[in-house]
């Protein structure tokens, strides 16, 4: 289970989601590591119905830091702003946006 806090996705053990090796390349794996503050650990959560605008304040689930029943994309703060995607139902990677709407 993850919680979105500030610009980090944090798991139950306090580890944060990070792009492997801090390298901004297609299909790069996502790992869980100790928080260092590097840009490769920082993410913008952008709700699909509000992209590219900033999300407006609405019903917020305070336990998880997310809006209820709203699609979103997770976007790396690395220079190419790649989207988080799950491939083969088991690996998280970052990929170039390809028109996905959800």
Q: Would you give per-residue pLDDT tens digits along the chain (102 residues)?
A: 889 999 999 999 999 999 999 999 999 999 999 999 999 999 998 887 765 444 445 677 766 788 877 888 889 999 999 999 988 888 999 998 775 544
Q: Which domains does the chain have, with CATH numbers?
A: 2-95 (2.80.10.50)
Task: Decide: pTM greater than 0.75.
Answer: no
β-pairing, 16-19 with 72-76? unpaired
Instruction: Collect all residues with Cβ–Cβ distance below 8 Å to 72 and sequence separation of at least 6.
Output: 45, 46, 47, 48, 66
């Amino acid at each position: 289970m993850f919680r979105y806090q500030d610009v980090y996705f944090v798991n139950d053990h306090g580890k944060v989601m990070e792009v492997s090796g801090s390298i901004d390349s297609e299909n790069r794996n996502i790992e869980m590591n100790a928080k260092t503050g590097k840009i490769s650990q920082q993410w913008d959560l952008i709700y699909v119905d509000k992209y590219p605008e900033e999300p407006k304040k609405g019903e917020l689930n305070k336990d998880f830091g997310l809006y209820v029943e709203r699609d979103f994309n997770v976007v790396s703060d690395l220079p190419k702003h790649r989207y988080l995607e799950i491939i083969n139902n088991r690996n998280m990677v970052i990929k170039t946006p390809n028109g996905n709407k959800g």
